[in-house]
Structure 1
Amino acid sequence: MGDMSVVGNGVHDQDSAFGEGGRRRSCWYEEEIEQDLRWSFALNSILHTGCSQYQDIVLLDTKPFGKALVIDGKLQSAEIDEFIYHESLVHPALLHHPNPKTVFIMGGGEGSTARETFRHKSIQSVVMCDIDEEVVDFCRSHLIVNKEAFCDPRLRLIISDARLELESRNDQFDVIIGDLADPIEGGPCYQLYTKSFYEGTVRPKLNPGGIFVTQAGPAGALSHTEVFSCIYNTLRQVFKYVVPYSAHVPSYADIWGWVMASDSPFTADAGELDRRIKLRMKGENMYLDGETFSASSTLSKVVRKSLAKETQVYTEGTAKFIHGHGTVQKAALQS
């Protein structure tokens, strides 16, 4: 997503926060998705703000989407619909794997990815590696829905750079999940979307039959060429089998994309995925089942054509970025 401002007391420089007669209407969250396109919605309040050495952190209470976590001016997840993102990120890879026991989460400081991972009965250990301790502590304190995940004895939380952590380890994993921030210019994560990282670090750390999955940015008819098609093509250069898929996330104001990759074929059809959900998972998914995944991995014609024609490979020297530079306009947060 893009830059953030919150309309507080007074009149915003472009949008008035007051109705007729000078009466205040509401406080608003605003994010610049593209240069000429902004997305905004009303707030009940600004619950918490913080700043680490890496990122600005804001927790908002929004009127349409409930509590929303914003990092570096970019909406990460919202209470009402985060299940769409996290179920889509976690469960396809874990369900396609025959018996996932060990998982490495890159990023994931919010705790929701670990929460969904622990719903799989076979999981024995999860390593969650996030570079920003203050973000992790902030989420652990304020996102009550993930409290049990943070307290699960199978979780090993490591504060470090995910690349360095993976490279330094001697063990391998059944599934590696990239729950990373969007690649933004000047941000800390874009090198974790490169061919050299996938080829030299991720692939060697997967057990035989292992699966890698990553969030891959906007995947709409107009937005998929930002980074989604490039990330997909990059993974195709490294893994034998690569599956792109997408879903509409209302609070993101767009279709969102993920890419799943492995050197073993993905053979489970919709019926088999439903069977595995019933046998292998605790609780009921709100969003994902076999038919939903089949639909999610059937991309629109315009996106399929773009992915088939994509030639760019994501490298440190040819990186593509999501629009915006992720700076919170702090002055606008004062009320």
Structure 2
Amino acid sequence: MGELFFVNGFPKCGHETAIDQNHDVSWYEEVIDDDLKWSFALNSVLHRGVSDYQDIALIDTKHFGKALVIDGKMQSAEVDEFIYHECLIHPPLLCHPNPKRMFIMGGGEGSAAREALKHKSLERVVMCDIDKEVVDFCRKHLTVNREAFAHKKLHLVINDAKAELEKRNERFDIIVGDLADPVKGGPCYKLYTKSFYKNILKPKLNEDGIFVTQAGPAGILTHKEVFTSIYNTIKQVFKYVMAYATHVPSFADTWGWIMASDQPLFIGAEEMDKRIDARINGELFYLDGNWFHSSTTMNKTLSLSLLSETQVYTEENARFIPGHGLAYRI
């Protein structure tokens, strides 16, 4: 789990204390693994708290700008969050022939909705986040997403995504998993299971609908934590499944996404660029056709791991990334 360390009389968050005595600076520290930590110098802490579901911090870092931290894990940082959110949102929308309705699971900071609302064809974007406190302080502090939160096409719902999908009669062209990473005691790991994908999520997609989810670290040393298991689980439910990945600096790793449908997903790089020009209002800073197709080519180790993975993600047989959710707090 992450820990916040402060000097000059500020309070401490975490179970240990480690202060840089030589510099007048506060630090955020995230545990990447049992013997590996990743530290950020801070300008200030904008918000700290514990909601009913998660341990939350909004910090202003010297290197990455404002950053949202949930259960000790960096969720997004101001200077490079566009990488993660462009990769999550635009591939399914561009691969779909004419997307009109989207459902976002999670996404409380508003960045996924911001990217989705660039698409002219979308008529309705439902964003369902379980944690009102996260949504409220992101609306207040993340000014880049204020227009998205106020957009007439956005329908914000505070609820568990599983319960919300179960009770809705409508179907969607795109369903997005912009969820926190699966950690022990966290609120999200059940939304990575085969039963959820098969029995709840897939029936809410239209016939040509596309599902995409963030799938955790996909680095050469970290891809077996959850990435390959989530990929193999989705393969049990959908006919066509595509994994892709890229480096996200503030995550200190390569990150992975998985896109799936019962219709073929492939469109050429040239066609993707044409659709970007025709369908999107505003500019993309990371994604284009050539990059996206390169991102689907895994290195030899990852390719073999994806092919050989046998675990199917269930509530009883789950994998987690290092860290603990609120249920494990003392």
TM-score normalised to structure 2 length:
0.95
Alpha-carbon separation, structure 2, partners of 1:40 and 1:305: 32
Alpha-carbon separation, structure 2, partners of 1:148 and 1:99: 24
Report the CA distance between 1:199 and its aligned residue.
0.4
Gaps of 5+ in 2: none
**Structure 1 residue 143 and structure 2 residue 146: aligned?**
no
Matches for 1:38-77 after TM superposition, within 5 Å: 38-77=37-76
Report the CA distance between 1:124 and its aligned residue.
0.1
- The residue number in structure 1 matching 2:217 is 218
State the one-letter code of the partner of 2:179: L
- The residue number in structure 2 matching 1:115 is 114
Give secondary structure in 1 for the equivalent of 2:39: strand
Give secondary structure in 2 for the equivalent of 1:234: helix
Alpha-carbon separation, structure 2, partners of 1:243 and 1:270: 15
Alpha-carbon separation, structure 2, partners of 1:67 and 1:87: 18
Give secondary structure in 2 for the equivalent of 1:226: coil
Q: Which has the higher contact order (CA 8 A, sep 6+)?
A: 1
The answer to whether the 8 Å contact 1:4/1:29 transfers is yes
Report the CA distance between 1:266 and its aligned residue.
1.3
Which sits farther off after the overlay, 54-63 or 278-287? 54-63
**Structure 1 residue 277 and structure 2 residue 276: aligned?**
yes
Alpha-carbon separation, structure 2, partners of 1:174 and 1:181: 22
State the one-letter code of the partner of 1:60: I
- The residue number in structure 2 matching 1:333 is none
Q: Identity of paired residues, percent? A: 63
Report the CA distance between 1:15 and its aligned residue.
4.6
Deviations 1:99-146 (A, max 9, x none): 100000001111000000000000000111111111111111111110
The answer to whether the 8 Å contact 1:3/1:325 transfers is no
State the one-letter code of the partner of 1:79: E
The answer to whether the 8 Å contact 2:64/2:77 transfers is yes
Alpha-carbon separation, structure 2, partners of 1:266 and 1:320: 27
State the one-letter code of the partner of 1:170: N
The answer to whether the 8 Å contact 2:128/2:157 transfers is yes
Deviations 1:168-205 (A, max 9, x none): 11110000000001111111110000000000011111
Report the CA distance between 1:7 and its aligned residue.
3.7
Give secondary structure in 2 for the equivalent of 1:302: helix
Query: Number of paired residues?
Result: 324
TM-score normalised to structure 1 length:
0.93
Gaps of 5+ in 1: 331-335
**Structure 1 residue 227 and structure 2 residue 226: aligned?**
yes
State the one-letter code of the partner of 1:296: S
Matches for 1:1-335 after TM superposition, within 5 Å: 2-9=1-8, 15-19=18-22, 24-326=23-325
Report the CA distance between 1:47 and its aligned residue.
1.8
State the one-letter code of the partner of 2:142: L
Give secondary structure in 2 for the equivalent of 1:224: coil
